[in-house]
Amino acid sequence: MLTRRKVIVCAGPGGVGKTTTSAALALRAARLGRKTLVMTVDPARRLATSMGIGTALDEETRLENASVYAGAPVARGELWALMLDTKRTFDRLIERHSPNPEIRERILKHPFYGQLSTALAGSQEYMAMEKLYELWSRKSYDLLVIDTPPTEHALDFLDAPRRMEDFFDSQALKLILRSTRTMGKLGASLFRVNALILKGVGRFVGAEVFLAILDFLEAMTALSAGFAERSRRVAELLRSDEVGFVVVSSPENSSVKEARALLDRLRAERMSIDAFLLNRVRPVYFGAVGTAEEVESVVLDRFHQEEALRIFPQDLVQVTAKELAQAVTRYGNLAHHDVRVVRELASAFGNALPLVAVPYFGRDLHDIDALREFEQRLARAAAHEQAPT
Ligand SMILES: Nc1ncnc2c1ncn2[C@@H]1O[C@H](COP(=O)(O)OP(=O)(O)OP(=O)(O)O)[C@@H](O)[C@H]1O
Ligand SMILES: [Mg+2]
């Protein structure tokens, strides 16, 4: 995947490691000799800083950190990082699609525009896809690794372009605009419109605000053909064999459920899925874990062997053994849950989809060395996946 694809999209539920995975995959591709750009959305501040993009919105930055390239199998790779600036991407989109400078200015200078471009539901997802298309068209990288924004629902980024299109296409919007037009030029018939609105929405938002919104929407509809065409092309790109998806999930039941729904959706949309990455899998350290009582007696035995009782008071040893036993049992149950999830997914996927399990590291992964470690675990897990023993 890392040597063949031109675009890799990391998608999945919130908080499972999409950003970390994107960075680690890009790092590996760069070490395999490809000029790679990772586009992240909202990375953890410390990760962004260690990648050299702490404050640089919308700037493609080359990582010079020596440990990125040290001992790389192929020397000529490059790792670049970019933090998406949704506002600036939106500005460029408006500039590109405006039929004339007058409409462009009317939109960009409109007081609602500032709010819309940052706050419109789904605008982040839409902008991520827009930026992907822009970078892909430029063809200055061998590989683009795309991190998707944290969303309530993993499917949001797929639906964002369509939502934008639907909005411009909606009957409600057309109706509103048509009725205001038949009432004459907005300014001229302000009085009549005012009277109408005061009876309805005016009570909530005020007639002037409402008219300003209408004015803005009318200017925006001039762009709708461009938007629609663009989202068709993005969808086409996502379906092409240049693009592969990596679905990331944690072993939490709710995450797995959401990630599998995303898989089904991607398949239905005829998009290529290269791997299912199960991240933060808690390793089993203790073999079969018994009940808290059984573990407690093992711990107590151990304390007796070590003659802990000669040094520490009896009740302290007993309390410690109890607490330790509870912690071990609780962890053991979680680790066994994760093992079950790995088994279930492996049997559900069979040979149809590579399942790559990456362990929980017990600490956050916010610097290049931690990313290297993640990248190596990823590579090892993937090699194991290909040649299961
Ligand atoms: N295998 C791992 N072991 C331990 N910590 C991890 C692991 N993978 C990721 N993390 C940590 O988990 C946190 C969330 O990871 P990340 O930001 O990559 O998730 P995300 O899916 O991008 O989240 P969001 O949906 O909010 O964008 C980070 O602090 C990261 O360092
Ligand atoms: Mg993220």
Per residue in 189-200, pLDDT tens? 555 555 555 555
Structure letter (DSSP) for residue 7: E
H-only helix segments in the chain: 18-31, 45-50, 66-69, 86-97, 101-108, 111-119, 123-138, 156-169, 171-182, 190-199, 202-205, 207-221, 224-239, 253-268, 292-305, 308-311, 314-349, 368-386
CA dihedral 332, 337, 338, 341 (to 10 degrees): 160
Q: Which atom of ligand 1 approaches the CA of 41 most closely?
A: 27
One-character DSSP codes across 196-209: HHHHTTHHHH-HHH
Q: Which residues line ligand 1 (CB under 6 A)?
A: 14-20, 42, 44, 150, 279-280, 358, 360-361, 364-366
Q: How far, in Å, from the CA of 387 to the mean position of ligand 2? A: 31
Q: How far, in Å, from the CA of 40 to the mean position of ligand 2? A: 7
Q: How far, in Å, from the CA of 270 to the mean position of ligand 2? A: 25
pLDDT of residue 306: 79
Q: Which atom of ligand 1 approaches the CA of 43 most closely?
A: 17
Helix (H) or strand (E) segment spanning residue 356? strand 355-359
Q: Rounded CA gap, 199 and 177, in Å?
A: 18
Q: Which ligand is nearest to the CA of 249?
A: 1
User: Is the model more confident about 100 or about 30?
Assistant: 30
Q: Which ligand is nearest to the CA of 41?
A: 2
Q: Which ligand is nearest to the CA of 283?
A: 1
pTM of the model: 0.82
Residue from 235, 45, 252, 37 nearest 146 by CA: 37
pLDDT of residue 26: 96
Q: How far, in Å, from the CA of 282 to the mean position of ligand 2? A: 21
Q: How far, in Å, from the CA of 18 to the mean position of ligand 1? A: 7
pLDDT of residue 374: 93
Give, using CA atoms, the residue closest to atom 27 of ligand 1: 150
Q: Rounded CA gap, 359 and 285, in Å?
A: 12
> For residue 121, what pLDDT band results from cuts at 50, 70 and 90?
very low
* pLDDT tens-digit series, residues 291-325: 778 888 888 888 888 777 788 888 888 888 888 88
Provide the residue type at 40 as one letter: T
